[in-house]
Chains A and B, each alone.
Chain A
Amino acid sequence: MDMVTQTLGIEGFRMIAGLIGVIALVSVNALFLIWMERKVAAHMQLRPGPMEVGPHGALQTIADAVKLMGKELITPEEVDRPIYYLAPIVVFLPVLLTFLVIPFSQTMIIKDMNVGIVLILAFSTLTVLAILMAGWASNNKYSVFGAIRSVAQNIAYEIPLLVTVMSIILMVGSFRLTDIVAAQSRYWFILVQPLAFILFIICATAETNRTPFDLPEAESELVAGFHTEYSGMRFALFFLAEYTNMFIVSAVAAVLFLGGWRGPILPGVVWFLLKVYAVIFLIMWFRWTFPRVRFDQLVTFAWKILIPLSFVNLLLTALALKIF
């Protein structure tokens, strides 16, 4: 034990332990989220959802994962091989890295960087690159369609996301996530910035490619999406990345607006997880209520409505801070 800490140092040990914890969390989270999505969808549609495998279908995801692992990894002939193989990995790794700075409780944070929030936003943009890689390398006009749409969508919705986060940062004065949580000791930021919360949730839904903005994904009308040519475990990685991304944006929303791990009686971790899953429930609720937005309307919505509103929010925050 001493030898380990001496060679790696406390920081290094902490990082490795943290990464192992993160991988465990990601897997359990994906398991839980897929089950939760199916159950939420089912109950909103007046049906029970998975009930067969395990009590109330709790082990259904494991059964699906085993099935996916058993499928043949079909690689079409004319694909651009290096990019084709790299795309699922590139979509997944940056999301894992964003877990570095999320404060699960007062002490549970892997590395408390002073550029916390900027790191998260930077890494979550890398998923766009992965989607473009997947679409282009598939050598399939439908995939290219889906990938191009996804890139346009993600870039368009990045801007209001950043500006909204900026208005919160203005109030706090630092990029560190622990500082942001500490600044919410008296009241949660959602109470003073409800517009920012709404804008953030909308942009987060668009960033993770969820309905009503799920045009790049499967079942999108004509085009089967950027992951048409992926089968088996590679396809599973895309979806794992999507659910983990959902966890990350919900965690950021919980930290920025809902007070992070703060809460009266229960320990910090429990409050944090409760808040994150509440925001995830909200995002799932959107999926099962709204129809899909058409692509040109999606882009119009981002540029003509969300961006002006987010700038207005920033200005109002700046004014309010100056006055009070």
Chain B
Amino acid sequence: MMTYFKEILEGFWSLLAGMAVTIRYFTKPIVTVQYPREKIEMSPRYRGYPQLIIDPETKTHLCIACEMCSRICPSQLITVEGAKFPGEKQKRGTKYVHEHYYCSLCGLCVEVCPTTALEYSAEYRLAGYHREDAVIDHLILLQKRQKAAGLPVTPVPTPAEIAAAAAAEAAAKEAKAKAAAAQKPAPGEEVKE
């Protein structure tokens, strides 16, 4: 008999304790943010899509088109092309397209780049109406960002320029090979000595 009443009272008290918690939270300020009227700051390491870094010295991108990022991407989303322009020591990226719709934001491309040409952007507003909205041409994006920062815009090499550079490169290589062949002794003479 006494346990019956005791149980009822204990149960009732537990319910009141629960109600006290809720009413206390009722009087606290809200913790949500009314997006899109208010926005939150993203953390500095937030992984938006990868984008080309604007090098503070040369004011342009650092991509040498080694295609390491393209090879390591688990979903094969990066297309890189490059060409060696006459007068420059290394290849330069001439096309950098990244299809963002399957990107798993793993960050492997950023980490594997030998020249640290990639960084994460802080862009999270990626909604669009077409599938093509998610395909990002990074050289064009770089131009937009350079313009926004007031820097000189890096021109995107046109196919004609790339073809000319490739031709010049091929010609230079041939000339070098001929020069090396002229210097080297003929095979027959080598054996004699």
> What are 19 A-B pairs with beta-carbon distances under 8 A?
A40-B26, A42-B30, A43-B25, A43-B26, A43-B30, A44-B22, A44-B25, A44-B26, A46-B29, A46-B30, A46-B32, A48-B32, A285-B23, A288-B22, A289-B18, A289-B19, A290-B18, A305-B8, A309-B8
CA of A40 to CA of B32, assembled, Å: 15
> Number of residues in B with C-beta < 8 Å to the partner?
16
CA of A63 to CA of B98, assembled, Å: 42
CB of B31 within 8 A of CB of A51, answer no
Across-interface contacts of B184 in A (CB, < 8 A) = none
Q: Count of A-B contacts with CB under 8 A?
A: 38
**Is the CB of A186 closer than 8 A to any CB of chain B?**
no
CA of A290 to CA of B11, assembled, Å: 12
Residue of A nearest to B5 (CB): A309
Across-interface contacts of B32 in A (CB, < 8 A) = 46-48
**Is the CB of B15 closer than 8 A to any CB of chain A?**
yes
**Is the CB of B28 closer than 8 A to any CB of chain A?**
yes
Across-interface contacts of A51 in B (CB, < 8 A) = 34
10 further contact pairs, Cβ within 8 A, besides A46-B31, A48-B34, A289-B18: A44-B23, A44-B25, A45-B25, A46-B32, A47-B30, A48-B30, A48-B32, A285-B19, A285-B22, A288-B22
* Chain A: minimal CB distance from B23 (Å): 7
Q: Which residues of B does A touch, CB under 8 Å?
A: 8, 12, 15, 18-19, 21-23, 25-26, 28-32, 34
Contact indicator per residue, chain A 258-289, by CB within 8 Å of chain B (1) or not (0): 00000000000000000000000000011011
Looking at chain B's contact residues, is the secondary structure mostly helix, strand, loop, or mixed?
helix
Across-interface contacts of A309 in B (CB, < 8 A) = 8
CA of A81 to CA of B19, assembled, Å: 44
CA of A306 to CA of B8, assembled, Å: 10
* Chain B: minimal CB distance from A96 (Å): 32
* Chain A: minimal CB distance from B11 (Å): 9
CA of A45 to CA of B31, assembled, Å: 9
Across-interface contacts of B22 in A (CB, < 8 A) = 44, 285, 288-289
CA of A286 to CA of B18, assembled, Å: 9
Residue of A nearest to B37 (CB): A51
Our pick among B8, B21, B31 for the contact of A47 (Cβ within 8 Å) is B31
Across-interface contacts of A288 in B (CB, < 8 A) = 22
* Chain A: minimal CB distance from B177 (Å): 71
CA of A286 to CA of B15, assembled, Å: 9
CA of A195 to CA of B12, assembled, Å: 12
**Contact status of A46 and B19, CB under 8 A, knowing A51-B34, A305-B8:** no
* Chain B: minimal CB distance from A53 (Å): 14
CA of A43 to CA of B25, assembled, Å: 7
Residue of B nearest to A309 (CB): B8
- Which of chain A's residues 284-303 have a Cβ closer than 8 Å to chain B? 285-286, 288-290
CA of A289 to CA of B19, assembled, Å: 6
Q: Which 4 A-B pairs have the closest CB atoms?
A: A47-B32, A289-B22, A46-B31, A44-B26
* Chain B: minimal CB distance from A85 (Å): 40
Residue of A nearest to B29 (CB): A46
CA of A87 to CA of B161, assembled, Å: 78
* Chain A: minimal CB distance from B65 (Å): 49
Q: Which of A285, A289, A309 has the most CB of B within 10 A?
A: A289
CA of A167 to CA of B124, assembled, Å: 64
CA of A311 to CA of B23, assembled, Å: 32
CB of A46 within 8 A of CB of B28, answer yes
CA of A86 to CA of B19, assembled, Å: 39
Across-interface contacts of A48 in B (CB, < 8 A) = 30, 32, 34
Our pick among A46, A198, A305 for the contact of B25 (Cβ within 8 Å) is A46
CA of A293 to CA of B150, assembled, Å: 65
- Which of chain A's residues 1-51 have a Cβ closer than 8 Å to chain B? 40, 42-48, 51
Across-interface contacts of A45 in B (CB, < 8 A) = 25
Contact indicator per residue, chain A 90-105, by CB within 8 Å of chain B (1) or not (0): 0000000000000000
CA of A149 to CA of B25, assembled, Å: 33
Residue of A nearest to B27 (CB): A43
* Chain B: minimal CB distance from A28 (Å): 24
CA of A118 to CA of B30, assembled, Å: 44
CA of A93 to CA of B19, assembled, Å: 34
